[in-house]
A and B are shown apart, each in its own frame.
Chain A
Amino acid sequence: MKKSFIYLLIILVLATTLRIYQLDRVPPSLFGDEVDVGYQAYSLYKTGQDLYGNNWPILVHSLSEYRAPLFIYSDIPFIAIFGLNEWGVRLAAVFWGLIGIIGIFLLTRKLLNETIGLFAALFLTISPWHIHYSRAGFEVTMLLTFLIFGTHFFLKGLEKKYYLIVSTLLFGLTPYIYSTAVVFMPLLLFIMTLIYRKRIEIRGTYFTIAICVLVLVLIPYGFQTISGKSGERFSIISVFGNRDVVNKIQLDQQKEQLPIGFQRFFHNKGVEWGRQISMNYLRAYSPEFLFLNGDPNSRHSVHDMGQMYFFEIILLGFGVFWLLSRFRNGEEKKNIWLIVGWLIIAPVPAALTYDGGFHATRDFIMLPPLVILLAMGTNYILERTKNSGFKFITGLILLFALFNITFYLHRYYAHYPSEQWRAWHFGFKEAMQYVDENESQYKEVFINNTYEPSLIRFLFWTKYDPVKFHQEFVSDQPNTKAVGFEGFTLNKFYFGKFTGPFEQIVDPLSLYVTSAKDDITNSEMLNDQRINLLKTIYSPTNEPIFYLFNGTNEIQL
C-alpha cells in the first residue's frame, strides 16, 4: 500500500507540473466563457449575487445564457485568493483535474487492481485531452471528477450501503456542472443499478434513501427546465430542434415520387434524427477523432494529432483484447460490464447535438473507460515483458511513446499559443488594462462590441466593482445613441458600434477601443489627422487586434 502511495504522489507531482507550467500563457488568453466564470465568481464572492443580481442562483445568469453554476461557485475561493486573472480562473480547473486523477486511481483500483489503477492515473495525467481541459476554465473537468467519484462511491456502496447516498448526491449535482450530465448521468446510474442489482438491495432502505436524495437534489434543476431556462441551450444545439433537419425532411418529402404513405415512412423526423445521431455516435470512435485530427475546433484541440497519442492505439488494442478475454470470471465480469457500458453510453449526449460528431468537450466523458483500457493494455504488455520476446516490443512502444509525447508537448507549449490566439480571443486583457489605467483622463470611453461581446471582458480586466455594476447595469441590448455610436452604456462606458464614419465624430475627450477586423478595415484610416493613435494591441503573430485612440484637438460635429 505504501509503495503505491508514493507512486501516486509522483504521478500527481507530474500532473501538477504539466498543468501549472505557464498556465497564464498557455492557452494564450482567457476566452469569453472563462472570463465569464471569473467575473461571476468575483461578483458572487463580493456580493453573493450573479451579474443580474440574483442571490446565490441555481442557474447563473450570464449575458447571453443561463449557465450551470457549480464550476463558477467552485471558482470563488480561487478568485478570492489569486484575484481576477488567469490563475484565479484556471486553477479551479487544475484543481478538479488533479482530484479527477486521484479519483480514477481509486475507481480503477476498485474495479480491477492497484497496478492498473496507477497506470490509469498516469494515462489521465499525460492525456493531451485531459491536460487541455484542465488548463482552462472548462466545466467538463469538474464534471468528470464528480462522475468518477460518484461511480467510486457507488461501488463502495456495494459493501457499506450508506456510501450509496454519497454516490447519488454527487451524481445529482452533475447536471449543475455541465449539461451533458443530464443525459449521461441517468444512463450511467441505470447501467450500474442493472449490473449490480443483486448486490445493492434495490428494495433496501439505503438505496431508497439514495434515490430520494438524488431526486431532491434534481428538483431545483427540474423547475429551471420547466421554466425554460436550462433547456434553452439544448434546444438550440440539439439534433431534434435543428431547423436544417426539419427543412431537409420537407424537401425530401416533396421530391419523393412514391405515394404519400411511403413518403412519411422513408422521410420523417425519426429517420433523419436516427441518421444524424448515429453518424455523430460513430464519429466519436473514429480514428480521425481519437488519433489523427482531433476536434476541428481550434479551441478544443491542438490539431495535427488526435485526442489521444498515436502510440496509445497499440495499448488500446491490447486493452480491448484483454478486456474481452476476461469476460468469463464471475465477479470481475460485472466490473468489466461497467467499463464496457460506460464506453457505450459516453458518446450519446454529444451524439444528440447537431455538431456533436467530433466534439472534444461533449465527448470528454469518454476518457475514463479509454484510460482504463490503456492501463489494462499496459498491464498486459508489462506482464508479458517478463518473456523476452516482448521486451523488444515494449522497448519500441516506449520509444514511440516518447516520440509522441514530445511532439505533443512541443506543439502545445511552443506553437499552440501563438497559432490559436484568435480562438482564445487574445487581446482583450491588454486593451482593457489600458482602459483601466487611462480612463480617468477621458469623459467617455467607446468600446467595440461587434468583434466579441466586450462587456464581460471589460468588467473582468478592470476589476469593476460588482456592487457598482449591479447598480448601474440596465441591459446589454442597444439602448443609446450617442453621436455616431450605437450600443448600451454602463456609467461612462459605451459598448456598441459606430453608425457612420468615425473619423468625423472622434473627440479628444473620448477614448475609443476599436477592432482591427470590424472597424478599421483599412489601416490607412488611422493616418487621418483627426485620430490620435494611442496604442495598438498586436497578436503574437504581429497582427493588429485592437486600436485604441482618441480624437485630436480638431473637434468636428
Chain B
Amino acid sequence: MSQYSIFLMEQMKFNYKLSLLIITLFAAFVRLVFLDQFPNGFTGDEAQQGYSAYSILKTGKDEWGEILPIFPRGFGDYKPPLYTYLTVPSVGLLGLTVEAVRLPAAVIGILSVLVVFFLAKELLKDERIALWSSILFAINPWHIQLSRTAFEGGVGILTFSIGLLFYLKSGIRNLILSSIFFSLTLYSYHSWRLFIVLFIAGLILSSWKKLISIKYWIPGLILLIFILPLMININSVLKRSSDVGVFSKDRITGYFSNKGTSSLYPIVDRLLDNKFVYVLNEFSGNYLSYFSPGFIFGDDRSDNTYLNFPYSPLLYFIELIFWLFAIYSLITKRLENRKIIILWFILAAVPASLAVGSMNANRTPTLLPLASVISAIGAVYMIEKWKYANKIISVSLLISFVFFLHFYFLKLPQKPPDNLRYGYDQVFKKILEVESQYDQVVTSKAFTEPQIFIAFYSKMDPVEFQMASTDWLRYEKSDKLYVDQLQSWNLGKFYFEDLNWNLKDSNRENALIVGKPEDFPQDVESILDVYDHKKKMLYRLIPVNYEKN
C-alpha cells in the first residue's frame, strides 16, 4: 500500500464511528418517516400483533386468555412470540395505534443497521467492508420495506446477528450472550427457528473439536433450556408446517393419487417416483429458485402479496456485480470466517425450501444481513482495485436508492401489493362509528380475520374479547387450522358469517350488513361505499330495517 493510502486510512479511522452514526440516523429516518401511511394498508397480522400486545399489557393474558404464552395462538398459526412481546411496551407508550404496532419493527431494523457494522467487522476483520455493509443494509430495499411492517422476520435478523457477533468474539461471557441471543432467535420467526437449529448444528459439525472444550458447556446448556419448550410443544411448532410444508402428508398423498398411470414398468416407476424422490424434487426445485438472479436482483416472486415485496428487487441490480466479485473473493482468498459465511449462505434458503412454493421473499429473511455483507465484500474489492470505483459505486447506489424512494412512496401506493387489506380501515372505522345505532353488525367472511379489526380499532377491552374467544376455540375441535374457517362466530353484537341477502340478511331487524358489492342487490342504500384506486367498488355498509332511535 502506498504512503498516501496509509495516510488516508489513518485519517479515516477516526471517521468510522462518526460515519456509522450518520448511517444509522439516516437508516432511522428512512424507516420511521410516515410509518403509519407506508405501507399503505394495515393487515390482520399487524392488527393481531397489536391487539395481542394490548391484551397482555392490560391483563397479562393474550387475546385467547392464555397467561403470558410462549406459543401464542394468533389466528391458529401459532406465531412465534418475540415480536408480540416487543410490541407491549410500544403499545403501552403510544396506545393502540398503527405506529405503535410497527414501531418495534422499525427500531429493530435501525438497530440491525448498527449491528451489521460490528458483525461484518468481526466476520471479516475489515472496517471498510463493515462500513459498506452498513451503508448497503441501510439503503437495502428489502430491509427497508421489511422494517416498516409488523413482520416477525426482522426480529430474527437482529437476534441472530447479535448472537453471531458474540459467538465470534472470544471469552466465556460473550459465548453466554451469544447463546442467549441464538435462543431468542428460536422464538422470533418460523424460518429463523429452523435456520438457527441447522446453523448451530452446522457450527458443531464443522468445528466440533473446538467445541468440546468446557467453555462451551454453559452456553450449550442455555440453548438447551430454551429449546426444551419447543420440543415439548412440538405440535404447535409444526402446525404451520402441516399447512405449508413439503413433507405434509396431505400433499404427498394428493400428488400420488392424482398421478395417473405411467408408461413405465411398475417397479421402475416406483423406483423413479416415490415419496422420497417427490419430496427431494420439490425441495431442490424450491431451494434452487432462491438463488435465481431474477428473484434476488429482479422482481420475480411467487405472488404479489405484500410480504413478498413485489415490483421491487430484494437487492439493487448493481449489487449483482458486487456479488460476482464477492464470490470470486470468497473462493480465491482465504477470508476470515469464510466457513461461517458459506454455512450461513447455504442454509439461509433451507427453511423456505421446506415449504411449498418457491421464490417467497417472506420466508427468507434469513438471507439478511448476509446479502448486504456479501455485496460489501464485492464493493470493497472493486474499490481496492480501481481508482474511480468508489465514485462510480456511490453514484450508482445513490441513483438506485432515489429510484427506490420514488417507487416506495409514490408508485407502490398506487399499485398496492395483494393482501394489504386496503379499505379495511375505512370499513371498520365506520362500523365502529355507527355501531351503537344497530342491534347487530353482520360482517361477511370475505373479510379476513374481521374480529381483530373490530377489537383493534375500538380498543376493545381485552377481557370482553377473551370471553368471546373462548367460544371460538371450537375451530380446533372441528379440525380447522384457523379461526376464520369457522362457519360463523361472533364478538358481542358483531357477527361474522357468509352473507346471503335473500335468505337471511335482508330480514334482520335493525342490523348493519357489511360485505362486497356482489353480496347485495344493486339498488340498496348504503351508508358507506369503499373504492380502490381504480375506482372499483370494494366494500359496502348496508343498514337493514333500521330503526331511528
Contact = CB atoms under 8 A, between A and B. Distances in A.
Given A258-B410, A292-B288, A414-B263, A324 B331 contact: yes
Nearest to B296: A282
A540 interface: no
Interface string B294-319: 11011110000000000000000100
A403 B272 contact: yes
B328 interface: yes
Contacts of A414: 263
A285 B293 contact: yes
Contacts of B292: 282, 286-288
Contact of B289 (A271, A288, A410): A288
B284 A282 contact: no
Contact of B331 (A286, A310, A321): A321
Contact of B288 (A278, A282, A287, A328): A287
Given A257-B410, A278-B317, A324-B332, A292 B289 contact: yes
A271 B407 CA distance: 13
A354 to B, nearest CB: 16
B297 A282 contact: yes
B284 to A, nearest CB: 7
A448 B505 CA distance: 57
Interface string A257-299: 1100000001000010000001100110111100110000000
A431 B456 CA distance: 70
Contacts of A287: 288-289, 291-292
Interface string B226-270: 000000000000000000000000000000000000011000000
B147 to A, nearest CB: 24
Contacts of A271: 403
Contacts of A415: 263
Interface in B409-423: 410-411, 414
Contact of B298 (A282, A321, A325): A282
Contacts of B411: 252, 255
Contacts, number: 61
Contacts of A257: 410
B339 to A, nearest CB: 15
Interface string B145-180: 000000000000000000000000000000000000
A205 to B, nearest CB: 35
A442 interface: no
Contacts of A58: none
B60 interface: no
A283 B294 contact: yes
Contacts of B299: 279
A256 interface: yes
Contact of A282 (B285, B293, B327): B293
A313 interface: yes
Interface in A364-420: 403, 407, 410, 414-415
A415 B332 CA distance: 45
B332 A327 contact: yes
A309 to B, nearest CB: 13
B406 interface: yes
Contacts of A282: 292-294, 297-298, 320
A414 to B, nearest CB: 6
Interface of B is mostly: helix
Given A256-B410, A291-B288, A414-B263, A325 B294 contact: no
Contacts of A407: 272
Interface string B320-358: 100000011001100000000000000000000000000
A286 B414 contact: no
Nearest to B359: A288
Nearest to B277: A403
Given A279-B299, A403-B272, A266 B289 contact: no
Interface in A241-258: 252, 255-258
Contacts of B285: 292
Interface in A303-343: 310, 313, 321, 324-325, 327-328
A313 B294 CA distance: 18
Nearest to A278: B317
A171 B291 CA distance: 35
A324 B284 contact: no
A291 B287 CA distance: 12
Nearest to A286: B292
B298 A324 contact: no
A357 to B, nearest CB: 8
A342 B421 CA distance: 47
Contact of A279 (B289, B291, B298, B328): B298
B410 A286 contact: no
Nearest to B293: A282
A310 B285 CA distance: 10
Nearest to B317: A278
Given A278-B317, A325-B332, A327-B332, A286 B284 contact: no
A257 to B, nearest CB: 6
B57 to A, nearest CB: 39
B396 to A, nearest CB: 12
A278 B293 CA distance: 10
A400 to B, nearest CB: 11
A288 B327 CA distance: 21
A324 B300 CA distance: 28
Contacts of B293: 282-283, 285-286
Contacts of A278: 297-298, 317
A40 to B, nearest CB: 38
Given A255-B414, A287-B289, A266 B294 contact: no
Given A279-B294, A279-B298, A324 B327 contact: yes
Nearest to A285: B293
A283 B293 CA distance: 7
B406 A266 contact: yes
Interface in B362-410: 403, 406, 410
Nearest to A284: B293
A315 to B, nearest CB: 15
A421 B141 CA distance: 46
B331 A313 contact: no
Contacts of B297: 278, 282
A258 B328 CA distance: 42
A313 B332 contact: no
A288 B406 CA distance: 30
B288 A313 contact: yes
B375 to A, nearest CB: 16
Interface of A: 252, 255-258, 266, 271, 278-279, 282-283, 285-288, 291-292, 310, 313, 321, 324-325, 327-328, 403, 407, 410, 414-415
Given A283-B293, A313-B288, 4 more contacts: A255-B414, A283-B298, A286-B292, A410-B264
22 contacts: A255-B411, A256-B410, A258-B410, A266-B403, A266-B406, A271-B403, A282-B293, A282-B294, A283-B298, A286-B293, A286-B295, A286-B300, A287-B289, A288-B289, A291-B288, A292-B288, A313-B288, A324-B331, A325-B331, A325-B332, A328-B332, A415-B263
